[in-house]
A and B are shown apart, each in its own frame.
Chain A
Amino acid sequence: LAKTTQPISMDSYEGQEVNITCSHNNIATNDYITWYQQFPSQGPRFIIQGYKTKVTNEVASLFIPADRKSSTLSLPRVSLSDTAVYYCLVANQAGTALIFGKGTTLSVSS
């Protein structure tokens, strides 16, 4: 499975847009890109998933360039409650184990 690389931490202020970029240079043709969010003392929570181009839901947007070697999770107008660890994962088969990296710790302050 493709290894992912993302920033260890990011800081932001409330109301700003936050973009977290993940590199996955060895992504395979049938790999999907998935992002999870984890709050302290909770399990990870699925945010968004994509294969190529752009995906948007009520929580975030996911931008994937044509070569798919990276992806960017975009959180519009963050609030204090968006403070969490964000994981970028690459997986290629339904029902398979998820492989977590260190994630990006996002700290949002007022």
Chain B
Amino acid sequence: EAGVTQFPSHSVIEKGQTVTLRCDPISGHDNLYWYRRVMGKEIKFLLHFVKESKQDESGMPNNRFLAERTGGTYSTLKVQPAELEDSGVYFCASSQPGQPPYEQYFGPGTRLTVT
């Protein structure tokens, strides 16, 4: 069974540009989460989808970030326009109902560098 995949693995963009990160969860996982770690900080929650619906987006830092999950399969996270402080590693995780409650499967992350 394939794990959570993320694309790209690394992205370098200039301040003001737009970047779109993609996450493919494990097949059949209704829950999809986005997290990020910015330099020197802890991993922080961004938002949670249940299928195609946003269950919790309390962690989204501002309106420059837009997450979508059309059809309840893969998800994208767009940053527009990117700022220097957006640099960090963006993780996606998925889980399904019936698992141990806090067992989320994480992808390898996308390292975003804004110059």
Interface residues of A (CB under 8 A from B): 32, 34, 41-46, 49, 89, 91, 93-103
Which residues in A have their C-beta under 8 angstroms from that of B107? 43
Among A44, A49, A101: residue with most chain B CB under 10 A: A44
Whether B105 lies near A100 (C-beta < 8 A) is no
B74 part of interface (Cβ distance < 8 Å): no
Which residue on chain A has the smallest CB distance to residue B4? A43
A102 to B42, CA, bound (A): 6
Of the candidates B4, B48, B100, B108, the one whose C-beta lies within 8 Å of that of A97 is B48
CB distance from A101 to the nearest CB of B (A): 6
Whether B108 lies near A95 (C-beta < 8 A) is no
Of the candidates B43, B101, B103, B109, the one whose C-beta lies within 8 Å of that of A93 is B101
> Given that A43-B4, A43-B107, A95-B31 are contacting pairs, would A101 and B102 also be in contact in the complex, using a CB cutoff of 8 Å?
no
A37 to B68, CA, bound (A): 28
A30 to B35, CA, bound (A): 24
Given contacts A46-B104, A49-B102, A97-B45, 18 further A-B contacts (CB under 8 A): A42-B106, A43-B107, A44-B91, A45-B106, A49-B103, A91-B102, A95-B31, A95-B48, A95-B55, A95-B97, A95-B101, A96-B48, A96-B101, A97-B48, A98-B33, A98-B45, A99-B45, A100-B44
A46 to B106, CA, bound (A): 9
Which residue on chain A has the smallest CB distance to residue B93? A43
A98 to B33, CA, bound (A): 9
B56 part of interface (Cβ distance < 8 Å): yes
A42 to B91, CA, bound (A): 9
Of the candidates B43, B97, B105, the one whose C-beta lies within 8 Å of that of A94 is B97
Among A49, A91, A97: residue with most chain B CB under 10 A: A97
Which residue on chain A has the smallest CB distance to residue B37? A100
